[in-house]
Amino acid sequence: MVLDSDLPLSRTVTDRAADLRRDPGLLDRLLDLPGSRVLLVSSGQVVARSDGRRPALVWFAPAEAALRAPTGSLAERWAFLGYDDADQVPGVAVTEPVERTGPAYLAHHVPDPAVAALPEGTSWMPLRDIGAELSARDAGLATAAVALYEWHVRHPRCPRCGAVTYTVQSGWVRRCVADGTEHYPRTDPAVIMAVIDDDGRLLLANSAAWPARRFSTLAGFVEPGESVEHAIRREVREESAVVVGEVEYKGSQPWPFPASLMLGFQARALTTTIAVDGDELAAAQWFTRAELHRAVAVGEVVLPPSTSIARALIEDWFGGPVPPGPEPDAWRTSVPAPDPAAGSGPAGHADDGGA
């Protein structure tokens, strides 16, 4: 079973219209159209409905967005996200002129969310918390908006000479003021895997940076010059001493906190003896389905939230949703939010990379 269509942040029904980004006047024209729709975004958060109903993004007209969240420099704080995808086939290259008739979607980057005057019944909400509850359109647009925000915040200067950069191509490129080089958003590939032994047990681990009850699948960044298959085997052995053989791709999900692409796999364990490294992992344990069900039910184990690919991998192995424990929000409320400036540590563990 491939999980892509079910992963919350992998859903998208929008046309990113990359062919339009090079038009230097595009943003100005779209910001002059009252029908354009703007999403406010700041440090992994988006403005969403918070009135007790199911979360939904709040879209503003450009003029209202600028008034509610004044941020100074126009070009540096806006990005073009795209249009509704008329043919519902996202990602297909444009081979002939396309008439785009729906509203344009834009992101307005707000460095300090406290300055925004939000309407009643709305608030800043972390995308990682509400992603699974958003519509496919909103999930895809919010994921792109958060990813772009995180990239702009972390790359204000040219990596070649250190000079200041500024945004071009409708918010998708940064250009150096000194040497004119252009720099594009980067995504860090990370593997995340459900490791299963010959008895059908699942290996879950507790990161050294987490409270004791919090368990998830193993994960880690792909190193330079490394295949994803090698990264899986290396990460599992380094962290748990378990040797992995065959691996099977299950699906991928962007995780823009700040810039990961989580590549999900199921991996077959060749050995079962566990020895955690004590550095990245504090504990690791094999679970049967019955054991995991009981541990979650009594609150001994807290699993990742539904927005994560880790939860999807666990429930793919489990055979369906894992019944909730006594504290459904324990994962979110028991752990401090990661430092957005950190961006290091093993994906799926210290920086929550999809876990």
DSSP string, 213-267: TB-B-EEEEPPTT--HHHHHHHHHHHHH---EEEEEEEEEEEETTTTEEEEEEEE
Q: What is the pTM of this model?
A: 0.90
pLDDT at residue number 349: 43
Residue with tokens 């892509």: 4
Q: In the chain, what are the domains?
A: 18-91+100-148 (3.90.79), 188-318 (3.90.79.10)
**How far apart (Å, rounded) are the C-alpha atoms in residues 136 and 11?**
5
Q: What is the DSSP string of 25-86?
A: THHHHHHT-TT-EEEEEETTEEEEE-SSS---B--B-HHHHHHHS--S-TGGGEEEEEEE-T
**How far apart (Å, rounded) are the C-alpha atoms in residues 275 and 273?**
7
pLDDT at residue number 277: 82
**pLDDT < 70 stretches in the chain:** 1-2, 4-5, 72-75, 86-98, 328-329, 332-355
pLDDT at residue number 336: 43
